[in-house]
Every structure is written in structure tokens, then in C-alpha cells.
């Protein structure tokens, strides 16, 4: 009887963990659909407000700055109140802000709604990594992070396939309302589905002194390894996420409806990269590599894949360009998944959200810089080429930075 009860309890734990992964996956998809609505409907919103490239670049950079400022407190909030409360509240806030875009009477109100949306969405990644470190054993953690890390790409795929046709029929305001409302459907599932979550043995749920000790995080070389790598790589993720539809429009003269296919292809390849990033690490472990060797080998392989990305600008067709850019996004997501895995493995679980928030601040500040730089390069007539060449080498630099600060990665959370 005791054995049967034990087996039933273990099966229930497995189901709850799978449900957690599914909910984080779905929440992240909604996060990125909400992010993409603005860039996908850029022509329509430009017509409504009279904006150009410079205004959109500044708008995007202010959003990145808002996310960076929000992240100052995000890690503390998650570590203090726990993933369940903090993430649920964040989704409710960003969903309301998404809906508010449709009712903005002027540019200032529109910008205010966008800033609130982006600030609340900043909770997403630290909450997901904290969940992996707190609730999932190390053998499942990397693959789970990889699965969740496919969600941004699926969001970026679904958004052009659904938002553009929907807006064409019902108007751009309706697109903001419907995508925002999806968050409240998810929230109901989150409240019900996470009631039985239990942390791993020996891992604090939340509110511990260690989790609140920001000073401990700031004095840890692992924190700065993650922050530097996020800054070097995230800036290009934010660049492509915001400007890819515009790139296909400007470089290949595609209309708003024609750019749907190439954009979807690029982000489909990115989704595959996230899965590969999650699957590669445990396979390298199974072959006898150490945690340090497996993480850094995986990062090196993905960094090499991104090197040919400048060829996209000389491609003969938008589909070829989309394939080249897609392979670079594949590499980014594989690399990024291993940064998340590095954090979930090596940072004590009680403060992992704080560390991921510091990393995300670095990434968003770098994103702020690259959005402003993109606007100046485009309005100055330099085009996208400097950004593509910079992207090609950024990931090798990020790996070198990690290795210099953390010569040997050791798992803290087994």
C-alpha cells in the first residue's frame, strides 16, 4: 500500500512538473505575441500617428529602457513572493496594458501603455529560470528550459500568421484587444495548475535571506558572466525581434502581407535552436563531459553557426535571407538556452531570479543602445550591414567572457 501511495505521489509530481512547463511555455508565447503586435502593424500605426523610422527606433529603445528599469525590482519580487504570485500578477498587468493600446487617444498614451506592458513582461524570463531551478531536477531542467525557450519563437511565428490577417479584417485596435485578452485565459489556468507545486528537497520556496541578498549576487563572478553574455547577445535578439519585418520590407520590398512567410520561417528555425540547445547539453553529459565542458561546448557550436549571418543582406531572395537569418536565430536561441541552463545549474536557487534579472537588465540596456543605433544607421543611410557584422562575432565574445570569469562551471542545484 505504501509503495502504491509512493508511486501515485511520484506520478502526481511528474504531472505537476509537466503542467508547469506547459504553462510557462504558453505564457511566454503570449508574452512574445504581445511584443510583436507593434512591429507587425508598424505600417498601419505609422499611418495613424505619422511616425517614421527615427520615431519607431526611439519608441523601441524607450521600451527596452523601461524593461531594464523594471528588472531592477523584478528579481527581488520573484524571490520574495515566489513564482506563482509574481508571474501571475505580471501577466495580468501586461495583458491590461496590451488592451490599453487600442484605447490610446494620442502618442503619449500609446507610449505609456507600451512602457507598462514591457515593464511587466520583464518578469517572464527570471520567473521561468527560477521555476526550473526550484521545481525541476537537473536532468530535466535543461530540456525544460529549452522547451520554454522555443516559446518566444513560436510567438513570433504565430503573431504574423494571425495578427496581420486579423488586423486587416477587424482593425489594428482589435488586434491589441484580443491578444491582451488571451493573457487572462492563461491566468485562470495558472492559478489552478500551480496550486500543488512543491520545490525540490532542500530548495527554499521564497523569501529567504539568500534570495534577498542582492549584494551576494553582485559580488559573484557568475552573475557578471551571465550579465555580460546577456548584454552581448540579447541586443541582437531585440534587434531582430523588432526590426526583422521592417528589414524584409525595406531590403526586399515586401508588403505587410508578403513578409509573413519569411518572418515565420526565420522564427521557426529559432524555435528549433532552442530545442536543440536544451537537448544538446544532456547528451554531452551522457557522453561523459563535465557540466562545465558540456555547457561551453554547446555554446561554442552555436556561436560558430551564427558567423555567416552577413550573407543574408546579399541574398538573391527574401526566402534565402530568411533561411540565413533563421539559422543565426537558431544559434542565438541555442546559445541563450545554455546561458539560462548555466544560471539554473550554477546559481543557488534562492537567488537565481535576482541573478537572471541582473542579466536581463544588461540585455535590455544593450537592447536600448542597439535600437537607438539602428534608428541612426537607417536614417543616416548606412543600412543594416554594420549590425549584421557585429552580430556575427558577438557570441564568440560572449563565450570568451563567460570562460574568463567562470573557468569552471559547477552545478549548485542537483
Q: Give the pTM.
A: 0.71
Specify the pLDDT at position 414. 55
Specify the pLDDT at position 203. 59
Cell 526566402 belongs to 319
Residue 386 maps to a domain: yes
The residue among 99, 100, 117, 118 whose CA lies nearest residue 109 is 100
Q: Which domain holds residue 214?
A: 2-405
Secondary structure letter of residue 258 according to DSSP = T
Alpha-carbon distances of 315 from 247, 319, 396, rounded to whole Å: 13, 9, 24
Residue 273 maps to a domain: yes
Alpha-carbon distances of 404 from 292, 304, 407, 412, rounded to whole Å: 13, 19, 6, 20
Q: In whole angstroms, what separates CA 70 from the centre of its chain?
A: 15
Cβ-based neighbours of 172, under 8 Å, separated by 6 or more: 41, 44, 45, 48
DSSP H helices in 194-317: 209-212, 214-218, 221-251, 260-286, 291-305
Specify the pLDDT at position 1. 46
Specify the pLDDT at position 75. 76
Cell of 322: 530568411
Specify the pLDDT at position 2. 59
| Domain CATH number, residue 304 | 1.20.1250.20
The residue among 390, 341, 398 whose CA lies nearest residue 370 is 390
Specify the pLDDT at position 340. 86
Specify the pLDDT at position 227. 95
Long-range contacts of residues 84-90, Cβ cutoff 8 Å, at least 24 apart = 84/190, 84/194, 84/197, 86/123, 86/127, 87/27, 87/123, 87/124, 87/127, 87/190, 88/187, 88/190, 88/191, 90/120, 90/121, 90/122, 90/123, 90/124, 90/127
Cell 509512493 belongs to 6
Cell 563572478 belongs to 221
Residue 410 maps to a domain: no
Residue 189 maps to a domain: yes
Specify the pLDDT at position 393. 96
Give me the residues of the chain with pLDDT under 70, please. Answer: 1-9, 55, 58-59, 139, 201-213, 413-414
Specify the pLDDT at position 326. 94
**Structural domains in the chain (count):** 1
* Residues 74 and 129: beta-carbon distance below 8 Å: no
Predicted confidence (pLDDT) per residue in 382-413, tens digit: 889 999 999 999 999 999 999 999 999 887 75
Residue 411 maps to a domain: no
Specify the pLDDT at position 99. 93
Specify the pLDDT at position 5. 60
Amino acid at each position: 500500500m505504501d509503495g502504491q501511495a509512493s508511486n501515485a505521489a511520484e506520478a502526481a509530481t511528474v504531472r505537476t512538473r509537466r503542467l508547469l512547463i506547459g504553462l510557462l511555455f504558453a505564457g511566454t508565447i503570449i508574452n512574445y505575441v504581445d511584443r510583436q503586435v507593434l512591429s507587425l502593424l508598424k505600417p498601419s500605426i505609422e499611418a495613424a500617428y505619422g511616425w517614421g523610422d527615427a520615431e519607431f527606433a526611439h519608441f523601441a529603445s524607450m521600451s527596452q529602457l523601461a524593461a531594464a528599469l523594471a528588472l531592477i525590482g523584478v528579481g527581488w519580487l520573484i524571490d520574495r513572493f515566489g513564482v506563482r504570485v509574481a508571474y501571475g500578477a505580471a501577466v495580468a498587468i501586461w495583458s491590461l496594458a496590451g488592451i490599453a493600446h487600442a484605447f490610446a487617444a494620442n502618442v503619449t498614451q500609446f507610449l505609456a501603455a507600451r512602457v507598462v506592458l514591457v515593464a511587466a513582461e520583464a518578469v517572464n524570463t527570471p520567473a521561468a529560470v527560477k521555476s526550473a531551478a526550484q521545481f525541476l531536477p537537473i536532468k530535466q531542467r535543461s530540456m525544460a528550459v529549452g522547451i520554454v525557450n522555443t516559446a518566444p519563437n513560436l510567438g513570433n511565428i504565430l503573431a504574423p500568421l494571425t495578427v496581420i490577417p486579423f488586423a486587416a479584417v477587424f482593425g489594428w485596435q482589435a488586434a491589441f484587444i484580443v491578444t491582451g485578452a488571451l493573457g487572462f485565459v492563461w491566468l485562470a489556468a495558472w492559478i489552478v495548475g500551480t496550486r500543488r507545486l512543491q520545490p525540490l528537497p532542500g530548495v527554499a520556496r521564497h523569501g529567504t535571506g539568500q534570495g534577498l541578498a542582492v549584494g551576494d549576487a553582485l559580488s559573484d563572478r557568475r552573475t557578471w558572466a551571465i550579465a555580460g553574455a546577456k548584454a552581448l547577445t540579447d541586443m541582437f535578439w531585440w534587434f531582430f525581434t523588432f526590426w526583422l519585418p521592417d528589414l524584409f520590407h525595406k531590403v526586399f520590398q515586401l508588403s505587410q502581407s508578403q513578409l509573413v512567410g519569411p518572418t515565420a520561417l526565420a522564427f521557426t528555425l529559432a524555435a528549433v535552436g532552442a530545442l536543440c540547445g536544451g537537448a544538446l547539453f544532456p547528451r554531452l553529459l551522457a557522453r561523459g563531459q563535465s557540466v562545465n565542458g558540456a555547457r561551453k561546448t554547446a555554446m561554442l557550436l552555436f556561436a560558430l553557426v551564427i558567423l555567416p549571418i552577413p550573407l543574408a543582406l546579399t541574398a538573391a531572395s527574401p526566402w534565402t535571407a530568411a533561411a540565413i537569418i533563421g539559422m543565426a536565430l537558431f544559434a542565438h536561441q541555442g546559445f541563450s538556452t545554455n546561458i539560462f541552463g548555466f544560471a539554473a545549474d550554477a546559481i543557488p536557487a534562492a537567488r537565481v531570479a535576482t541573478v537572471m534579472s541582473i542579466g536581463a537588465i544588461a540585455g535590455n540596456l544593450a537592447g536600448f543602445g542597439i535600437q537607438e543605433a539602428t534608428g541612426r544607421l537607417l536614417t543616416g543611410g548606412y543600412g543594416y550591414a554594420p549590425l549584421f557584422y557585429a552580430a556575427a562575432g558577438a557570441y564568440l565574445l560572449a563565450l570568451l567572457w563567460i570562460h574568463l570569469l567562470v573557468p569552471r562551471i559547477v552545478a549548485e542545484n542537483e
